Structure 1
Amino acid sequence: MCGVHLLVSTSDKNKDSILTMMQACQHRGPDHSSWEKVATGVYVAANRLKTLDLREEANQPLLHEDTGAVLSWNGFLYNYQDLRNQLIEEGVTFKSTSDGEVLLEWLIRKGKAGVKFIQGMYAFAFVHQRRVLLGRDPLGMKSLYIARNEQILACSSECRCLLESGLFPKKINKAQFSPYFYLRHALPQHSFYAGIDELAPGELMEIDLDSQKSQSDEIPIHVPGPGPSLELASFEEVLTNAVLKHLHADVPVGMILSGGADSSLLYHLWYKETGLTLPSYTVGFEHTYGGKYEDSGFAKRLAGKFGGHNQEVSLSPEWFLEHWPEYIEGLDQPVGDSAGFLTWAVAKKAKASVKILISGVGADELFSGYNRHIAFKQYLNHPEFWQWAAPLLKRVPFLGRGKQKFLSSIQGRAQRTFMNFAALSPLPEALADSLDPLYPKGNGDFKNALEWDRKMYMVQDLLKIHDNACMAHGIEGRAPFLDWQVVAMGKGLSEYELLHSGSKFWIKSILKKNGLDSIARRKKLGFGLPLKEWLTGHSGFRDCILGGVKEFGEHHSEQVPPEWRALVKQPDKFIAEQFLLLFNVFLLSGWMKANRL
């Protein structure tokens, strides 16, 4: 995992800016940083975290001596060994065993037409023959931000690097406040900074350095051959291969182990295939609050079953208050998800022992693991009934937060209904209208819903917080469920198969088959802080959160959606029902203050 930086300027006056960008991103690549001048006004820089081939030969930016091509990239190629073998057959001689050199040689010989054959998580800047190629993997696992004006084009792995260059003004993008209150993140291809955009997942942008013209193509998820159908035996085989690929490294690898179905299955398949244990890390709290937060017990038992040692990262309100300033200072983009802080805490602990952390992210979005998927199935079984009954039933008092959310989310169209299910609260009409063109089309209602979660929630929330939290401590995050073969199998499921199978049926079936019934039966729990419990039970935590919310209301009330202006004025009245939103506003308030916005 690395930091990627590109600067294209009409003059050579901005050389110091590429150095500043590189220095601002050293946490992403603490092992080596360097830069190259490609041509007049064209600079490429990189920060490297060494995971494959730890020698200097694999350092970045990678320069091809014969052609003058330069590559700066961030990520991990799942099929780099296959690509490497093909290139060797074509006469290429390699200096290293890194996947980065494979990517460089592949791009030189295959160009942008060959990018579709590269499987992995990546973002890259490649300069060759007066052309720049910028690419981001189709699943959106890695980010690449772009800022430009009439004289300058720059891109980087993080917004802060672009701003530290001194070439662009630091200004808040006010259009992202409304989406944040309902989705807890900025909209796709946007950032919270005005003038800084993000390359779309699967976007391949080519820029002609002479004409300054650019054009973009889409990178497909390309898996050669028809692929196996999703049966238990074939799914276990494909997932096992994905685990082996993702745990391949020249540095120590660990796992974020929740004790839930997804991470437990990954750990089990690794041990079953290799007989080796892994360092594993689980968040624990001082109280389980009625069994709601008992990940550490499940994870300890699973690791112990295989002779492994699971390390508990114990969090308390006091620990949170002590370390929150450090977390918020390192947050590149605000995402209102307390799972980001948990992942950051795990990475802080794990960095003493490992340089790669494996997680189970992606499984829920592929195999319908969220409560909203269960709710949407219920709606799809009788949509006309729910459209008629919801306005009546939601008037019934004391229904509870979950049932009220279900009823208030139902709209006349399945698409709008699921968009509401996936949001913190039902979307206002203007925001929903702006999101409609982004919603997947052409499949069944349920397949479209899963694709929406992969496109919006997974990319804009889960993958961003995972990358930011891990890279803050110089750790690479990997996700075997997002291996392209696994994704292809999941996306190949029919509407009927998805609607008529239980939540994460295939994952749980393999767990049961291998004697892990207790984990398969475990109720799905969210990964996050015990916000409601801490808000009601710890005065210091409550005062900190509510104080941040009030401060946001005092300074930015005009940016608060009308329905939430009472919340920022009297947040104490919203603890019971809107504790998630309170935390989100607190995080945004702290992020803006830390960045002097």
Structure 2
Amino acid sequence: MVDTSATDEMAIANMVESCTHRGPDHSGIIKVTDGVFLASNRLKILDSRDEANQPITNKEKSAFLSWNGFLYNFQELKNQLISEGVIFKTRSDGEVLFQWLLLKGKEGIKHLEGMFAFVFVDINKSEILLVRDPVGMKSLYYHHHENKLICSSEALCLVHSGKVDASIDAQQVLPYWYLRTSMPTASFFKNVKELLPGQIAIFGLDGSKKEVTKFAVNVATGLNSPVPNQKIFKQCLVEAILKHFTAEVPVGMILSGGADSSLLYHIWFKETGIPLPTYTIGFDSPYRGKNSDADFAANLTKKYGGGNQEIKIGPAFFLQTWEEYLSQLDQPVGDSASYLTWLIAREAKKRVKVLVSGVGADELFGGYNRHMAFKTYLKRPNLWHGVSQFLQDMPLFSRSQKKFLKGIHKNPDRTFINFAALNPVPEKLGRVLEDHYPKSGSNYKNALAYDQAFYLVHDLLKIHDNACMAHGIEGRAPFLDWTLVALSKEMSEEQLITTTPKSWIKEILIAEGLGNIAERKKSGFGLPIKEWFLHHPGFRIKMSSAILDFGNKYGGLVPKEWQSLLKHPENHIQDHYLLLFNVFLLSEWINKNTQ
């Protein structure tokens, strides 16, 4: 925090208290100089000794670091620093990061690999660096007005400082309606912004903004081959798994029984022989329906030991825990997977401090239905554009087929933007999103890059980090190790289009004797919203009341064609249950957190 009007630590102490859940093992505040304070809540993963606590500084008090994350290549960096004469006092990756920045400065940031958000204060250069990893695993929010700078891993933390008002940013309602999140760089608080993945924001000690630069994933796969292939993928994946599953504290896993998480656990056990606690969501009868995650997960873990814990829920349990979840939700993401991930972390914290997930594989290697739909569209874009208007209203088509037809636009970029949204976006919003759309020159790779920049970062990764850190757990994602990210980028347009979704993952599963999982039909990770709404009065009343309330307060911010949904949600549950939950969550979050 930089605020020349601050005469004491009250504001930053309030921030520390509001974010204790992220680092329950130690809290520390340092006054850097007049009006400049740095604080940290530490979750002890590597080296639990007090010597590794944060904020980190040196004996000269010439630099300070507060950070959140996991440095994948800390051992390599540490070895290099030792060869240059640096003496370490701890085993923590935080000390490695501090010493690296102290010696290499901001030019050394491009050599970091990991998931991180940090603030580094360099007294000698009179600079404050705000940095976020280029994959977007960790968030970094900030408020900057004139010479006042306040930043934190959570937006609510800034509001709790008492120096940032909680006014809602009404301009985020429209993108949220279609994307389930606010726009990049924005939050739902008018005066709180978010650093983009890979951004380095440089400020002076007086709070003045100097410049913003960017860095990207710059690692190579390390394997010599003209074209990425399954062998290289598996070698990179094994290395990533051994790296991300290793910690000095207990590690567990979110196991859906699907291809991605099952392969991670299988390889881990095959390489180490160490069983891990795993966690799966199950639903009470009669809502279990098509969701067989718990059955697949239980069958898999029987082979390895360790035991899979099924967390069984129903609408009554949801209603009992909803307020607790809402109180720990930093920013609204209208994805019911957020609640489920939070619930798993809530249970997992009894046994583990690191929770591994299979997030990222679909976005890197094209695993979603929208990716298959876009491949279909790209084969004959002009034909599909010509017939889509005629066919989309015919009653013979399924919900997914209608979405495909309604999403088609004369512009391929806009077509995928529509496919990735809950519903086709309005023209004005579409033009804004086109400005954010990648322009590498190949349609399918652009689509994957858009998914990685929008859906992965602002939905899945925000969910993963918020849900885990709400319970003092570090979330990790081996599929987003930088070598695998680099591998996906090295794949050609032709290679990505001609292969079936995540074919390498499925081929490895089959070769390892897990063909039943490879052949399992992909199912989404979410609540049975439609079934609960139709058959549980309490859930229906809770959702409907919140949606009606949102319509009364903010209906003017929503396009006219959706006004009926805000007035009569029960009439839209069949076709728009995801949108209804989206509005329900936003309504509840706004009422709880904004002015």
TM-score w.r.t. the length of structure 1 is: 0.97
Taking a change above 3 Å as real, the CA distance of residues 288 and 484 of structure 1, as seen in their structure-2 partners, is: farther
Query: Aligned-pair distance for 1:460?
Result: 0.6
Q: Once the two structures are superposed, what CA deviation does each residue of 1:81-116 show, in whole Å capped at 9, x if it has no partner?
A: 110111011111111000000000000011111101
**Residue in 2 aligned with 1:461?**
459
Contact 1:257 1:299 in 2 (8 A): yes
Q: Once the two structures are superposed, what CA deviation does each residue of 1:252-295 show, in whole Å capped at 9, x if it has no partner?
A: 00000000000001001101100111110000012476852110
Sequence identity (%)? 53
Q: 2:113 aligned with 1:119, yes or no?
A: yes
Structure 2 Cα separation of the partners of residues 536 and 388 of structure 1: 38
Q: 2:147 aligned with 1:137, yes or no?
A: no
SS at match of 1:465: helix
**Residue in 1 aligned with 2:214?**
218
Contact 1:256 1:359 in 2 (8 A): yes
SS at match of 2:2: strand
**Residue in 2 aligned with 1:180?**
176
Taking a change above 3 Å as real, the CA distance of residues 199 and 290 of structure 1, as seen in their structure-2 partners, is: closer
Taking a change above 3 Å as real, the CA distance of residues 388 and 41 of structure 1, as seen in their structure-2 partners, is: same
Contact 1:11 1:40 in 2 (8 A): no
Q: Once the two structures are superposed, what CA deviation does each residue of 1:445-475 show, in whole Å capped at 9, x if it has no partner?
A: 0000000000000001000111111111111
Query: Aligned-pair distance for 1:227?
Result: 4.3
**Residue in 2 aligned with 1:4?**
none
**Residue in 1 aligned with 2:256?**
258
Query: Aligned-pair distance for 1:192?
Result: 0.3
**Residue in 1 aligned with 2:395?**
397
Q: Which moved more, 1:557-566 or 1:207-216?
A: 207-216
Taking a change above 3 Å as real, the CA distance of residues 552 and 486 of structure 1, as seen in their structure-2 partners, is: same
> 1:224-303 maps to which residues of 2 (within 5 A)?
224=220, 227-229=223-225, 230-287=228-285, 292-303=290-301
**Residue in 2 aligned with 1:16?**
10
Counterpart code for 1:344: W
Counterpart code for 2:486: A
Query: Aligned-pair distance for 1:14?
Result: 5.0
Structure 2 Cα separation of the partners of residues 497 and 288 of structure 1: 43
Contact 2:384 2:408 in 1 (8 A): yes
- Of 293, 311, 314, 1:313 maps to 311
Q: Once the two structures are superposed, what CA deviation does each residue of 1:369-400 show, in whole Å capped at 9, x if it has no partner?
A: 00000111110111111011111111311412
**Residue in 2 aligned with 1:105?**
99
SS at match of 1:8: coil
- Of 150, 161, 164, 2:146 maps to 150
Q: Which moved more, 1:182-191 or 1:465-474?
A: 465-474
Q: Once the two structures are superposed, what CA deviation does each residue of 1:206-245 show, in whole Å capped at 9, x if it has no partner?
A: 1122582420111111115764442222211110110111
Q: Once the two structures are superposed, what CA deviation does each residue of 1:385-419 show, in whole Å capped at 9, x if it has no partner?
A: 10111111113114121111000000001101000
SS at match of 2:447: helix
Q: 2:550 aligned with 1:552, yes or no?
A: yes
**Residue in 1 aligned with 2:363?**
365
Contact 2:146 2:208 in 1 (8 A): no
Contact 2:118 2:131 in 1 (8 A): yes
Structure 2 residues not aligned, in runs of 5+: none
Structure 1 Cα separation of the partners of residues 257 and 207 of structure 2: 55
**Residue in 2 aligned with 1:162?**
158
Taking a change above 3 Å as real, the CA distance of residues 502 and 14 of structure 1, as seen in their structure-2 partners, is: same
**Residue in 2 aligned with 1:421?**
419
**Residue in 1 aligned with 2:47?**
53
Counterpart code for 2:345: A
Query: Aligned-pair distance for 1:522?
Result: 0.7
Structure 1 Cα separation of the partners of residues 442 and 34 of structure 2: 52
Q: Which moved more, 1:206-215 or 1:60-69?
A: 206-215
Counterpart code for 1:341: Y
Q: Which moved more, 1:552-561 or 1:490-499?
A: 552-561
Structure 1 Cα separation of the partners of residues 568 and 68 of structure 2: 44
SS at match of 2:21: coil
> 1:448-487 maps to which residues of 2 (within 5 A)?
448-487=446-485
Q: 2:580 aligned with 1:573, yes or no?
A: no
RMSD of aligned alpha carbons:
1.3
SS at match of 1:366: helix
**Residue in 1 aligned with 2:592?**
594
Q: Which moved more, 1:212-221 or 1:177-186?
A: 212-221
Contact 2:280 2:293 in 1 (8 A): yes
Counterpart code for 1:376: F
Counterpart code for 2:419: F
Structure 2 Cα separation of the partners of residues 79 and 228 of structure 1: 21
Structure 2 Cα separation of the partners of residues 42 and 495 of structure 1: 49
Counterpart code for 2:581: F
Query: Aligned-pair distance for 1:20?
Result: 0.9
Contact 2:256 2:262 in 1 (8 A): yes
Structure 2 Cα separation of the partners of residues 451 and 65 of structure 1: 44
Counterpart code for 1:507: I
Structure 2 Cα separation of the partners of residues 211 and 329 of structure 1: 31
Structure 2 Cα separation of the partners of residues 216 and 415 of structure 1: 27
Query: Aligned-pair distance for 1:160?
Result: 1.1
Counterpart code for 2:36: V
Structure 1 Cα separation of the partners of residues 389 and 564 of structure 2: 24
Query: Aligned-pair distance for 1:15?
Result: 2.6
Taking a change above 3 Å as real, the CA distance of residues 477 and 288 of structure 1, as seen in their structure-2 partners, is: farther
**Residue in 1 aligned with 2:200?**
204
Q: Which moved more, 1:219-228 or 1:276-285?
A: 219-228
Contact 1:76 1:121 in 2 (8 A): yes
Contact 1:238 1:485 in 2 (8 A): yes
Contact 1:394 1:404 in 2 (8 A): yes
Contact 2:186 2:192 in 1 (8 A): yes
Structure 1 Cα separation of the partners of residues 240 and 424 of structure 2: 37
Counterpart code for 1:426: P
Structure 2 Cα separation of the partners of residues 164 and 118 of structure 1: 31
Query: Aligned-pair distance for 1:35?
Result: 0.7
Structure 2 Cα separation of the partners of residues 116 and 288 of structure 1: 52
Query: Aligned-pair distance for 1:308?
Result: 3.0
Q: 2:62 aligned with 1:68, yes or no?
A: yes
Question: Following TM superposition, where does structure 1 have runs of at least 4 consecutive aligned residues deviating by more than 6 angstroms?
Answer: none
Structure 2 Cα separation of the partners of residues 308 and 161 of structure 1: 37
**Residue in 1 aligned with 2:189?**
193
Counterpart code for 1:59: N
Structure 2 Cα separation of the partners of residues 320 and 252 of structure 1: 28
Q: Which moved more, 1:463-472 or 1:448-457?
A: 463-472
Q: 2:49 aligned with 1:78, yes or no?
A: no
Taking a change above 3 Å as real, the CA distance of residues 29 and 211 of structure 1, as seen in their structure-2 partners, is: closer
SS at match of 1:75: strand
SS at match of 2:397: coil
Contact 1:205 1:217 in 2 (8 A): yes
Report how many residues are paired.
Answer: 591
Q: Once the two structures are superposed, what CA deviation does each residue of 1:120-169 show, in whole Å capped at 9, x if it has no partner?
A: 00000000122101100001110111102224111111111111111122
SS at match of 1:9: coil
**Residue in 2 aligned with 1:88?**
82
Q: Which moved more, 1:351-360 or 1:7-16?
A: 7-16
Contact 2:4 2:35 in 1 (8 A): yes
